[in-house]
Every structure is written in C-alpha cells, then in structure tokens.
C-alpha cells in the first residue's frame, strides 16, 4: 500500500484518536489547523472514501432510495488483529 501524504495521515490520525463515528466538520477543522491546508468538503469525503476502500478505516453506508449517507470510524482493535489459527485447529461452527 502506498504511503499517505500529510493531509491523509492527519485524517487517519484524527480518526484513530476518536471512538465511534466521526463528525466530518470537526475533522476538517482539525486537519486544516494541523496541516495549514484547506480543501473542499467533497475533497475530504473523497479522501475518507479512499481510506475506507484501502482498509485503513471503517465505513458504514446507509441508503434510502437515491440518498446515501456514509459514516466513518476507526477500525476497532479486535477487527485489526485477529489471532492466527494454530495448525490443525478448526473454527467451531454454531
């Protein structure tokens, strides 16, 4: 996976510091102050979507007809690191 630029890294840092879903306007304010750069709301949404598609953050999509809402959050620790299975062991089915 490619290295992140300074703005994308600031976005990822912000998300990883917060529990639960983020508020995009607070994130934009934080990242703009930290990086001294400003972009459009659409640009930040694109960056968030890219981070989600790369598997760096979690995204949840809600759809009602043609209306779509996307919520982003950090990947929880249990989702990040699953312990490897020992050889010869199987996952029990329920």
The whole-number pLDDT of residue 18 equals 92
CA distances from 33 to 28, 36, 62, 66 (A): 8, 5, 30, 34
The whole-number pLDDT of residue 94 equals 44
What does the alpha-carbon distance between residue 13 and residue 73 come to, in Å, rounded to a whole number? 11
User: pLDDT digit string (tens) for 14-70?
Assistant: 999 999 999 999 999 999 999 999 999 999 999 999 999 999 999 999 999 999 999
Extents of the domains making up the chain: 6-75
The whole-number pLDDT of residue 64 equals 96
6-75 CATH, one of 1.20.272.10, 3.60.9.10, 2.40.128.110, 1.10.10.10: 1.10.10.10
pTM for the model: 0.75
Name the band, by pLDDT with cuts 50, 70 and 90, for residue 76: confident
The whole-number pLDDT of residue 86 equals 56
């Amino acid at each position: 996976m490619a290295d992140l630029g300074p703005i994308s890294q600031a976005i990822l840092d912000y998300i990883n510091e917060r529990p639960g879903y983020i508020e995009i306007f607070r994130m934009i304010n934080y990242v703009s102050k930290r990086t001294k750069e400003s972009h459009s709301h659409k640009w930040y949404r694109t960056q968030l979507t890219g981070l989600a598609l790369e598997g760096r953050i979690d995204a949840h999509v809600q759809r009602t007809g043609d209306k779509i809402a996307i919520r982003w959050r950090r990947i929880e620790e249990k989702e990040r690191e699953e312990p490897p299975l020992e050889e010869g062991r199987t996952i029990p089915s329920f």
